[in-house]
Chains A and B, each alone.
Chain A
Amino acid sequence: MRALLFRDLRLAMRAGGGFGLALAFFLILVVMVPFSVGPDPVLLSRIAPGVLWLGALLACLLSLDRLFALDHEDGSLDLLATAPLPLEAVTAVKALAHWLTTALPLIVAAPVLGVLLSLPAAGYGWLVLSLLAGTPALSAIGTFGAALTVGLKRGGLLLSLLVLPLYVPTLIFGAEVARRGAEGLPIGPTLALLAGVTLATLALLPFASAAVLRINLR
């Protein structure tokens, strides 16, 4: 398992692995927001938590179609499927690698981008915490979507169509935690719901991902 994780991390870091691409996308998206809604700091600070959450979510979506596609093309996915490691663990490790290479940099960058959107000072900690609690679910759901579309030649757009509706609960709770944090409102129940969704997703979705991967490798 560890070997697989390190292999995926190395592949992502190498040139052409797309590491940092999601980060650049996140940056550009956030920079474009004031251009579209105007530079008014009051408006920006009000929409900042939601924009940052949406940006992180879309950036997570970017690298999903590479999750299994390359392994599928060169046949290493078939090797993984026949390896002693259960496929459920493979999908879980893949989700973890995706989270480490895509979501974690976004979380680190989010406070910096928060400055650009004049996020209120109280909001930074909660923004990071909400992203930490929510993005693992995004990676796990995305892994499911990637496993679902791995056999398709042009799965990219379809992947977004399938995955985005599944992101709705996480987005609602995550952005709500960030917003309440920024406005100084109580957080507890919302954060608990967000973490609950994430934990349930992490516990159950690897099985669904492995099931659809088996169907696709048949």
Chain B
Amino acid sequence: MPEIGVRHETMSIWEYANPRKFTATATRLLPWVAWAAAILTIGGLIWGFAFTPNADRFESTVKIIYVHVPSALMAINAWLMMLAGSLIWLVRRHHVSALAARAAAPVGMVMTLIALWTGAVWGQPMWGTWWAWDPRLTSFLILFLFYLGYMALWAAIEDPDTAADLTSVLCLVGSVFALLSRYAVNFWNQGLHQGTSVPVATGGRSVADVYFLPLVACMVGFGLLFVALVLARTVTLIRTRRLAVIEMKAVRA
């Protein structure tokens, strides 16, 4: 039976809500994550580009899948991470969480752009067009607009806590509407885009093993790259805010 009144030293995830602890751990982790991301992404890309055969109908264009699929995956996951960060901020008021959501937005936006761009580059020879108003393409474009709005709101508000609150609510409302748009767009136009290559939910897959393994390497690599960028950016944001406080004190003194 545990003694009453004694706090047991169990590690809790919430300890990282302390900016100091978060910064310390993040700076310690960062080189490892960054190197793992670099090795997996570069390794996966080289493996995919140089050491897999060309697919029958697609010839060498199929290789863009090693950039396209991971970036599309991270474009959506970045928004989900922002949603989680916003919720945690609204419920538990941990500043690190709000800053991590803010840090993830530009990364997610760039991932969305990469996914759209690589898709266009692939679509040109395969579908004969750079752009089509296909549901998946359209909903990614809408997601891109949501990223823009979210970042613009962060940039527009001076008071950091107000900005965190307002962007968090925007992220929640935006998530609902982004999801709604996804289905509305589906309803609105039938698409050219094929189904997902790696349906995680069903466990099956439509990609042959030769392509699948380097693809997984790239997906994990992009995931780690995202984590590394968000860690680095969050630490930077924490330090920027601390710097602002120090400067304020210096001015008042």
Contacts and interface: CB of A to CB of B under 8 A. Distances in A.
Q: Do A and B come from one complex?
A: yes
A215 B173 contact: no
B142 interface: yes
A161 B174 contact: no
Interface in B15-73: none
Contact of B152 (A144, A161, A166): A161
Contact of B162 (A168, A176, A218): A218
A104 to B, nearest CB: 24
Q: In this complex, which of B142, B165, B177 has the most chain A Cβ atoms within 10 angstroms of its Cβ?
A: B177
A interface residue count range (under 10 / 10 to 19 / 20 to 34 / 35 or more): 20 to 34
Contacts of B169: 148, 208, 211-212, 215
Interface residues of B, number: 25
Interface stretch (B110-118, B179-187, B198-206): B179-187
B39 to A, nearest CB: 37
Interface in B131-181: 142, 145-146, 148-149, 152-153, 156-157, 162, 165-166, 169-170, 172-174, 177-178, 180-181
Contacts of A165: 142, 145-146, 149, 174, 177-178, 181
A215 B159 CA distance: 11
Interface of A: 144, 148-149, 151-152, 155, 158, 161-162, 164-166, 168-169, 172-173, 176, 190, 193, 197, 205, 208, 211-212, 215-216, 218
Given A144-B173, A193-B187, 10 more contacts: A148-B153, A151-B157, A158-B153, A161-B145, A166-B177, A197-B180, A197-B184, A208-B172, A208-B173, A211-B169
Interface of B: 142, 145-146, 148-149, 152-153, 156-157, 162, 165-166, 169-170, 172-174, 177-178, 180-181, 184-185, 187-188
